[in-house]
Structures are given as C-alpha cells and as structure tokens.
Structure 1
Amino acid sequence: MEALQTEQLTKRYQHTAAVQEVTLTLGEGVYGLLGANGAGKTTLMRMLCGILEPTAGTVRYGGADIARLGEEYRALLGYLPQDFGFYPDFTGPEFLRYIAALKGLTRAETARRTGELLAQVGLTDAGKKKLRAYSGGMRQRLGIAQAMLNDPRILILDEPTAGLDPRERVRFRNLIADYAKGRTVLLSTHIVSDVEAIADEILLMKAGRIVERGTVSALAATARGKVWTLRTDAATAARLEGVYTVANLHHTGPEGTVELRLITADPPAGATPADPTLEDVYLWHFADEEEKP
C-alpha cells in the first residue's frame, strides 16, 4: 500500500516550535502516538490531515504532496479530533447521514456504512435517541464511527478512548485491530494500555520531536535496568516518593509494608529489577515534564 510520509515537518507559533523537523514513514498498521500534554501530538495530526499548514517541511502520500492531492487525499482520510462537533437534535443515524453527505457518499453507501458502523460501535439500540441525550462515551463512539464512515485508507484518531469505559475500550481496540489490515491508523491517547494492546509501533513525542520509535517490546527493552521494585515501610516509602518517580505504590499488609515500583537508573539499596512495560517507558521519558493544560 501507499505510505504516508513527512519530511522535516515543522510548525512554529511566533517563537515556539510546536512540531520540530519530524520525518516519518507510516505504512500499513496501527501506530500509537504517546507524549505529555503539549508535546505536539495534536499539531502533528492536524498537519497530517491537511487541516493545519506546516511552517516548513512536507506531508506526502504515495510520494505526492497532500496539498496538491487536495480532495483526492481527503477522500482517503478519516479523522477524529479531540473535540468533535455535533448537532444535539440529530439522532446518531441522522448525524452519520449528514457526515456521509459531506463526504460525498452515495445513498447506498450511506445506508450500508451507517448500519455497519452503528453496530460495530454498539449504538444500534440508540436509534432514535437525540445526541443531546447521549453519554460522553456514546458521543465518543459516534465520533469514531464518523471517522470511519468513508472506509478511509488513513485513519487518524486524537484521544479516541477518552470517556470510554473498560468494555467500550476493548470493543474499540478490537475494531481498530481488525480495521487496520491494509490501512494506516495513527492514534494518540493517554491510556497507555490501549496502544500497548494493538499498536504495531509506538512513537514517543517530546517537545515537538519524535524521540523514540519502535515496537512495544523494543521500547520496553530500552527501559531495562531502569525499573525496580522495593518492599519497605510506610515512612521510607513516603520519603522515596519525593526522590524517585513512583510508577505504583501498594500497601501489602497490616504490618505497614509498602511495595513500590520505581523508575530510575540509580535505585535505592534493596531494590530488585523488574520487567519494563510501555507505561514504564513513558514514565522514564516524561517523568521530568509537568502536565501542561
């Protein structure tokens, strides 16, 4: 299949670089984009969709600049922004038919895809319910459905699992894993377990740059020797929390024993090495960053 590529892609706002010289090739499969708030993930995704014009660099699909491809590229694209707009007096099927008209689907395609997708995201029974009565999770599932309506070759999802409960997240992961065959799917999320379960590759983004890229297992290997467990007393645990990045803290018994999972290259005495997870990798890279609004 054709690849989606960026070359030295950059976006600046006055003196701030939101995205800095990102060069990527995305082929078939699911790509998980991880980074703290303010890392540049949404800006990158909006440039990949052609919504935002880069300050420098290019986005190409099949070797052609997406700006020149224009409508041809947009017909291949599905996008779910962090906050997608909806009309509260529409029902779910009405909203999808409206989006289908904007995307130029035929009546037959609209009827088929609307029924398929409402079933796939578990909204068939919501039928005549107005969107104003949808829960946050239902609206998010409808947003996922509208992004997939035109059966896109490139699917870009910005925080698609926000507001979904655990069962809905499992449904989403299964849907995306199946859909990605022969397509390019890029999704960003703060729920690391969602991308850990389905992503073929993970992209770690920090301060506008892709700082690491690889499979879950390959990235986990980069954190080997930096993840530790330690059993100690409550007073020592409280002191260590102020010194180390603590991935997990668990009180293990009535005697006041606490088990800590620490992310550090310089562990305290008595700590034992643990097998890293993708969440540990994330914390290793982003522990020094405060979450930005």
Structure 2
Amino acid sequence: MALEVKNLSISFPHLRVINNFTYQFNQNGLYLFVATNGSGKTSIFRSILGLIHSKNNGITIDDKPMAQMRRSVFYYESSNWFDINMSGMDYLKLIKTQWKSNVKINAVIHFWKMENYVNKSIRKYSLGMKQKLLIALYLISDADYLIMDEINNGLDEDSRKKLLKKLNELSQHKCIIISSHYKDEVYPYADKILTIKDHEVINDNH
C-alpha cells in the first residue's frame, strides 16, 4: 500500500508553484518536507487532498483514486479551521465517528492532559491548547496517512519532544508526512527528506 503522486504541477495566475512532482509515499515512515514559506509545501498538501486545483496524472492510494480512499488520510491544516463555538470534545467525537476509529477518546485526552479544557468552547483556548487539540484529532482519526503542516507550532519544548516521540512510534506502521519550522528537531526522526527548491521537489538521501 502506498500513496502515489504523479506529475503534480501547481500554479496560480502569474505564479508557478510546483513543477511535475512525482513521488511514492510508503505505508510507513516519516517524510519531512523542508521549504521556505511560500515555496509550495502547503499547496502540495492541499492538492493531495483535492482542496485546490492542480494538474496531475492521478493521486492514488493502493492504485485507487484518492476520492475513494479519503478516510485513509487525515489532514487538518491549521487550528484556524476550528469553529470556536465548538468544544474540543465535539471535534474529537466528530472525527472518531467520521473516520470510524477505534482509538479511545479518553486515552488521547489523557495523553495531552486536556481534561481541564476539552469540554470548553475553543474560543477559551490558548494557542498551545488549540495545537494539542489539533494533534489529538490526528491520533483519534487513526488514519494510515497523516499529513501535518507545521504541526508543532505553538507547542513548548517539552510538548514538541512528546509529539516527536509519538510520531516516531506511529511511523513504524503509518505514513507521516510533515513540515516543520523546527526542522532540526525533526531531522533525527525523518526517514526521508524532501526539499522544495526553485519549484522542484528534491529527494534528499537520508
């Protein structure tokens, strides 16, 4: 089983972003995207999920179109996507139901020590609380492919270490595709490093 991207090209009016990106993400391992802001990593993530238009010859999982395998992937771009009138518990229950997950909500809440605020509306959350909820959604989904865009933003150092330890554990049987401003912290855990430079995605040996 693999997530395969073939000849992915992304452009906007008067702006070229990515040229002919072809790559196979295996079912397990941690893939780190290294790129400067505005170079196209988020556009690649959005294109894989069909959130923006792109030119490609197909994005597939196990040779099946992404549209048929949507629940095999989880991507929640930013805590800015949250409806602040909902609670963290609302979101955890929603994702557990939609992804038909067997992961226990209470276990994830305990892992991130969210007990004191998970039932409060998100409008009352700090940035760190929102980010822990965001990560919790990935854990609850239990999806085979987890695409994470700057997932450790807003976390203190201890929480980032805890996250990386968890991602390293998950990468033994899941595919983790991640970008991070704290790339030096992620490097030791990365199985593959993909660098975006001059509209091209370069596969760095690692």
Question: TM-score, with normalisation over the residues of structure 1?
Answer: 0.65
Does residue 80 of structure 1 match 2:76? yes
Match of 2:18 in 1: 19
C-alpha displacement of 1:185: 0.7
Does residue 147 of structure 1 match 2:138? yes
Q: Secondary structure at the match of 1:211?
A: strand
| Worse overlay, 42-51 or 117-126 | 117-126
RMSD, aligned CA: 1.9
Q: Structure 1 CA distance, aligned partners of 2:89 and 2:10?
A: 37
* Kept after mapping to 2: 8 A contact 1:155/1:185: yes
| Structure 2 segments unaligned to the other structure (5+ residues) | none
Runs of 4+ in 1 over 4 A off after TM superposition: none
Does residue 105 of structure 1 match 2:100? yes
Q: Secondary structure at the match of 2:104?
A: helix
C-alpha displacement of 1:141: 1.1
Q: Secondary structure at the match of 2:164?
A: helix
Does residue 204 of structure 1 match 2:203? no
C-alpha displacement of 1:144: 1.2
Name which of 134, 138, 143 aligns with 2:125.
134
Aligned residue type for 2:48: L
* Kept after mapping to 2: 8 A contact 1:38/1:207: no
Q: Secondary structure at the match of 2:186?
A: helix
Q: Secondary structure at the match of 2:128?
A: helix
Percent identical = 23
Q: 1:107-166: CA deviations, max 9, x gaps?
A: xx4xx5321222233323434333222110110110111133221000000010111110
Q: Structure 2 CA distance, aligned partners of 1:75 and 1:205?
A: 27
Q: Secondary structure at the match of 1:31?
A: strand
Question: TM-score, with normalisation over the residues of structure 2?
Answer: 0.90
Name which of 151, 159, 162 aligns with 1:160.
151
Q: Secondary structure at the match of 1:56?
A: coil
Match of 1:30 in 2: 30
Distance 1:94 1:168, change over 3 A: same
Q: Structure 2 CA distance, aligned partners of 1:181 and 1:19?
A: 29
Name which of 109, 112, 126 aligns with 1:121.
112
Q: Structure 2 CA distance, aligned partners of 1:113 and 1:51?
A: 29
Distance 1:53 1:124, change over 3 A: same
Match of 1:53 in 2: 53
Return the index of the structure with the highest Cα Rg. Answer: 1
Q: Structure 2 CA distance, aligned partners of 1:167 and 1:104?
A: 29
Q: 1:228-267: CA deviations, max 9, x gaps?
A: xxxxxxxxxxxxxxxxxxxxxxxxxxxxxxxxxxxxxxxx
Match of 1:7 in 2: 6
Aligned residue type for 1:73: M
* Kept after mapping to 2: 8 A contact 1:177/1:198: yes
Aligned residue type for 1:6: V
C-alpha displacement of 1:83: 4.4
**Greater RCO structure (CA 8 Å; 6+ sep):** 2
Aligned residue type for 1:9: L
Q: Secondary structure at the match of 2:119?
A: coil
Distance 1:120 1:208, change over 3 A: farther
Q: Secondary structure at the match of 1:6?
A: strand
Q: 1:195-234: CA deviations, max 9, x gaps?
A: 213211111112331134221xxxxxxxxxxxxxxxxxxx
Q: Structure 2 CA distance, aligned partners of 1:118 and 1:96?
A: 9
Q: Structure 1 CA distance, aligned partners of 2:157 and 2:128?
A: 11
Distance 1:16 1:75, change over 3 A: same
